Amino acid sequence: MRWKEKILTLTPYQPGKSIESVKKEYNLEQIVKLASNENPFGCSKSVLEALQVHLNDLAIYPDGYAANLRETLAQFLQVEEDELIFGNGSDNLIQIISRALLHPGASTVMAAPTFSQYRHNAVIEGAIIKEVPLINGEHDLDGMLEAIDDNTNIVWVCSPNNPTGTYIPENKLTSFLDKVPSNILVVLDEAYYEYVTADDYYNSIDLTRKYENLIVLRTFSKIYGLASLRVGYGVANRNIIKALEPAREPFNVNTFGQLAAAAAVKDQNFVEECKLKNRQGLQQFYNFCEQNNLSYYPSQTNFILIDFNVDGDRVFQFLLEKGFIVRSGKALGFPTAVRITVGSHEQNEGVLKALGEFLAQLKTESVGVQGESV
Ligand SMILES: *Cc1c(COP(=O)(O)O)cnc(C)c1O
């Protein structure tokens, strides 16, 4: 078969290990999954109520326009309905944007390491990929400006960034946006927006008014706790939305996703509660890192990237055998780190206790090695 040449160089997305497979493999009863930045507190109770009512609608296609969700979200965000586009997760929006703008003659600029799907979709479209290394875990926006060339169609900005958890302060972002040529689409992926507590974070929705080449992506998979239902959205100038719409599948967001997301938006108390508990959880991790002299990036998300100065796969494996699934930094571009999702207070205590045991084991090993060399 005459496959696109580049697709043969790709491997499918490697998700974190599933709870069921780890239970079986290591004969464990309880597993805590802190690998995919899911919400440890589930979702708003009002979502469950909204879904119950519609269990008889399975034979009917979803509303391709997502009218009810669109109206609810437009009101909540204070935007017009035609300034929104919905995706089967924001992953789907990354795919739609790539499909609409990238081709073998086009180039696209992104940070490295960052969220893997920008690169993945660019490879499939055959575009030229220009990756600009992070500096201290943060986007090098000046470097990204320099990487832009005459063929650049998309610049990807992930703030807060996955997997570092770092964010771009307002003054840096706006001075960057001032300099990007207006015929290049800037995609600001804010999957963790609702977790941000930094004072100098921006109102990105307002920025889409000032910068007509900016699209903001957000998701219901993270703080809203609806990852299984797959709903993401983009906010941009209506001309951008209009141009992207034909690349979207007609029924890409399912009925239950639409219902759940609309109900979730209306329960901002749940969101606030999760945001607060997440801050407290991050503090547990910060304390541990400081007590043990481990370096980490201060996080504006619900995960933390911690450097253990040993092969990240070793830390991953140690935790796995104790029933905690995390992400090794190896596949994420940080070979000596692990990325851990902030869980409930108790889950955090559990994984930190296991990490304490790991560090103790490392210490006895290094004593052993010194002994041998005497
Ligand atoms: C989780 C994540 C997404 C994907 O979210 P979905 O809406 O579930 O597809 C997108 N971008 C970043 C940076 C993420 O971490």
pLDDT higher than threshold 80 for residue 371: no
- Contact predicate 215/97, CB 8 Å: yes
Under DSSP, is residue 305 helix (H, G, I), strand (E, B) or coil? Answer: strand
Residues 80-98, mean pLDDT to the nearest whole number:
98
pLDDT higher than threshold 90 for residue 320: yes
Look at 21-25, 147-151, 317-321, 337-341 and tell me which has the smallest mean pLDDT. Answer: 21-25
What domains sit in the chain, N to C, each tagged with a CATH number?
6-42+269-368 (3.90.1150.10), 45-267 (3.40.640.10)
- Angle, vertex CA 305, rays to CA 188 and CA 115, nearest 5: 30
Mean pLDDT score of the chain, rounded to an integer? 95
* Ligand 1 centroid – CA 323 distance (Å): 25
* Ligand 1 centroid – CA 11 distance (Å): 18
Q: Is the CB of 219 inside a 6 Å radius of any atom of ligand 1? A: yes
pLDDT higher than threshold 50 for residue 280: yes
Predicted confidence at residue 305, as pLDDT, reads: 98
Q: Is the CB of 221 inside a 6 Å radius of any atom of ligand 1? A: yes
Look at 16-25, 26-35, 317-326, 336-345 and tell me which has the smallest mean pLDDT. Answer: 16-25
Predicted confidence at residue 209, as pLDDT, reads: 96
**Residue 245, amino acid:** E
- Contact predicate 337/312, CB 8 Å: yes
Q: Report the C-alpha gap between 326 and 257 in whole angstroms.
A: 27
Helix axes 345-373, 268-291, angle to 10 degrees: 20
- Angle, vertex CA 288, rays to CA 14 and CA 317, nearest 5: 35
Query: Parallel, antiparallel, or unpaired: how do β-strands 327-328 and 324-325 relate?
Result: unpaired
- 340 - beta bridge partners? 304
* Ligand 1 centroid – CA 365 distance (Å): 38
pTM for the full predicted model: 0.95
Residues 90-108, mean pLDDT to the nearest whole number:
98
Tell me how far CA of residue 12 lies from CA of 15, 117, 120, 254, 295, in angstroms.
9, 11, 9, 23, 31
Question: Which structure tokens are listed for 200?
Answer: 């100098």
Q: Report the C-alpha gap between 330 and 308 in whole angstroms.
A: 12
- Contact predicate 164/138, CB 8 Å: yes
**Look-up of token digits 């239950």:** 256
Q: How does pLDDT run across 163-216, given as a tens digit for each residue?
A: 999 999 999 999 999 999 999 999 999 999 999 999 999 999 999 999 999 999
Predicted confidence at residue 294, as pLDDT, reads: 98
Reported as type and span, the H/E element at residue 51 is helix 45-52
Q: Which residues of 302-313 are buried (b: 16+ CB within 10 A; e: fewer)?
A: bbbbbbbebebb
- 232 - beta bridge partners? 87, 219
The whole-angstrom distance between residue 122's C-alpha and the CA centroid of its chain comes to 18
| 372 pLDDT tier (thresholds 50, 70, 90) | low
Q: Is the CB of 162 inside a 6 Å radius of any atom of ligand 1? A: yes
Predicted confidence at residue 56, as pLDDT, reads: 79
* Ligand 1 centroid – CA 136 distance (Å): 22
Q: Report the C-alpha gap between 190 and 316 in whole angstroms.
A: 27
Q: Report the C-alpha gap between 242 and 118 in whole angstroms.
A: 21
Q: Report the C-alpha gap between 249 and 88 in whole angstroms.
A: 9
Higher-pLDDT residue of 3 and 351 is 351
Predicted confidence at residue 374, as pLDDT, reads: 47
Q: Is the CB of 102 inside a 6 Å radius of any atom of ligand 1? A: no
* Ligand 1 centroid – CA 63 distance (Å): 23
pLDDT higher than threshold 50 for residue 57: yes
